[in-house]
């Protein structure tokens, strides 16, 4: 891959090109994953720093962005474990399966619903949030997500299903309130 060769040949130029090509996309994804811009910037910095240091480990099995996404996710997981946060845990009770309410979107002002969706995604455990971000924000298919996260497709589908139920419940609560 040309970018990899550039980084190997000229670290500074390759790093700048890495930031130019992937920096803002990683930043937007990081904001989705960790919710705060300051944290997101820190994770992008550490992710790109690690990606450059370990550039020889990129084997081309996945896209370059997916490889960096895995690095970033591991950093977030490691930090969450160190802090003892429950971000990795599934919620104790997953809501009963819900179907999309045909009129929910029409009943709410679109911007209110949009903010409710964002808040709901931010409140998900990391395991669910990471698949939601890849599916909705990065538009990856279930099989691409499974490869990116080294998970069985069934697990990805299950997490998406549970995440959707949780998001719908939170949106419904927003409507009621």
Partner 1 sequence: MNCKEARLLIEDAVDGTLADGARRGFERHVRDCAECRAILESAETEFVRWRSALRDGVRGRTLPADFADRLVRAVEENASKRRAFWSLGKAPALKVAAALAVLLGVAGIVFSAGRTSEPDVLVRASIVPSNAATDLGSRCERITQMLMTEVSYSAAAQYMADMCWARGI
Chain positions contacting partner 1, by CB under 8 A: 11-12, 15-16, 19-20, 23-24, 27-28, 31-32, 37, 41, 44-45, 48-49, 52-53, 99-102, 105, 110, 113-115, 117-118, 121, 133, 135-137, 139, 141-143, 153, 157, 160-161, 164, 167
Q: What is the Cα–Cα distance from 118 to 150, expressed in whole angstroms?
A: 26
Using the minimum distance from each CB to partner 1, give the nearer residue, 73 or 160: 160
Token pair 């990116």: residue: 148
Using the minimum distance from each CB to partner 1, give the nearer residue, 42 or 80: 42
Residues in the chain, how many? 177
The least CB distance from residue 41 to partner 1, in Å, is 7
Cβ distance 75 to 46 under 8 Å?
yes
The least CB distance from residue 23 to partner 1, in Å, is 5
The least CB distance from residue 33 to partner 1, in Å, is 11
**Which ranges of the chain would DSSP assign to H, the alpha helix?**
2-9, 11-18, 24-34, 37-53, 64-83, 104-107, 110-122, 126-132, 142-149, 153-176
Cβ distance 113 to 105 under 8 Å?
yes
Phi, psi of 87 (to 5 degrees): -60, -25
The least CB distance from residue 28 to partner 1, in Å, is 4
Q: What is the Cα–Cα distance from 143 to 145, expressed in whole angstroms?
A: 5
The least CB distance from residue 2 to partner 1, in Å, is 19
Using the minimum distance from each CB to partner 1, give the nearer residue, 44 or 149: 44
Using the minimum distance from each CB to partner 1, give the nearer residue, 55 or 87: 55
């Amino acid at each position: 891959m040309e970018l990899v060769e550039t980084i190997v040949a000229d670290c500074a130029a390759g790093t700048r090109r890495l930031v130019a090509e992937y920096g803002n996309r990683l930043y937007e994804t990081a904001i989705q994953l960790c919710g705060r811009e300051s944290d997101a910037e820190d994770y992008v910095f550490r992710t790109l720093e690690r990606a450059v240091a370990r550039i020889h480990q990129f084997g081309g099995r996945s896209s370059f962005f997916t490889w960096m996404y895995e690095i970033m996710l591991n950093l977030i997981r490691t930090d969450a474990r160190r802090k003892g946060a429950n971000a990795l845990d599934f919620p104790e009770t997953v809501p009963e399966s819900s179907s999309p309410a045909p009129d929910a979107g029409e009943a709410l002002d679109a911007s209110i619903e949009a903010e409710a969706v964002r808040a709901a995604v931010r409140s998900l455990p990391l395991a669910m949030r990471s698949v939601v971000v890849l599916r909705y924000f990065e538009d990856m298919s279930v099989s691409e997500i499974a490869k990116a996260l080294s998970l069985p497709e069934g697990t990805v589908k299950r997490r998406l299903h549970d995440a959707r139920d949780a998001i719908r419940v939170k949106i419904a609560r927003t409507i009621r309130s």
